[in-house]
Amino acid sequence: MERKELVMILGLPGAGKSFFARALAEKLQGIHLNSDIVRKELLEQPTYSENEKARVYQELFDRVRKSLEKGELVIVDATFSKFDHRLPYYNLIRKLKGKLSLIQIVADESVIRERLSKKRPDSDADYKVYQKIKDQYDEITLPYLMLSSTSLNIDEMLKEAVRYLEINELFDE
C-alpha cells in the first residue's frame, strides 16, 4: 500500500523550522517542501503581502498534493500562522486517508532576533515580519509536538520527532 503521510512543520520565522525539516526529511527519506523556497521561485522581491502569501501557499499545497498522491512521505515547512493556511492540508490528508503529524518549532525570542539579523539562504523575513506574524498567529487546534530549537540540539529534536511520529495517529485511517 502506498504511504500517504504528511508532516507539517509550523512556527514563527527564525524558529528553526527549515533547518529541522531538512534534517527530518533526510532522516526519514521523505520529500521536503518549503514555503521560503517556493516564495523565491515565484517572486523576485517578496513583500509578504496577503496576496503573495495566498499564491505561495497555493503553490506549496499543489506540490504537497502531487507528492502525497505519488505515495511519498512529505515534510512541509511554513509558518502556517493562519488556520485557513492549515485547513486545506487537513482536508487533503483526510480525503487521501493518510496520516498527518504536526510539529511546531519554537525558540526564545532573543535567539530568533539574532537569527533574523543575519542573511539566510532562503528567507527574507526579518524581525518586523516575525513580530507581525507572531501577533496574528492562530492557535493550533489539533494535537501536535512542540520542539524548542533553543534548548534542544538537532539530534535531540530528531529523536523526539521520530518517537512522536511513531505513536501519532492523527487522521491515520
* CATH number where 72 lies: 3.40.50.300
Residue 35 belongs to a domain: yes
- Whether residue 173 is contained in a domain is answered as no
Q: How many domains are contained in the chain?
A: 1
Does 29 reside within a domain? yes
Reading the block at residue 158, the C-alpha cell is 530528531
φ and ψ at residue 55, rounded to 5 degrees: -65, -45
Strand order through the sheet with 145-148: 31-34, 73-77, 5-10, 99-106, 145-148
pLDDT score recorded for residue 2: 65
Q: What percent of the chain has pLDDT over 90?
A: 68
The percent of residues in the chain predicted with pLDDT above 70, rounded, is 95
The neighbouring-strand residues paired with 5 are: 73, 99
| pLDDT score of 65 more than 90 | yes
Parent domain of 110: 5-167
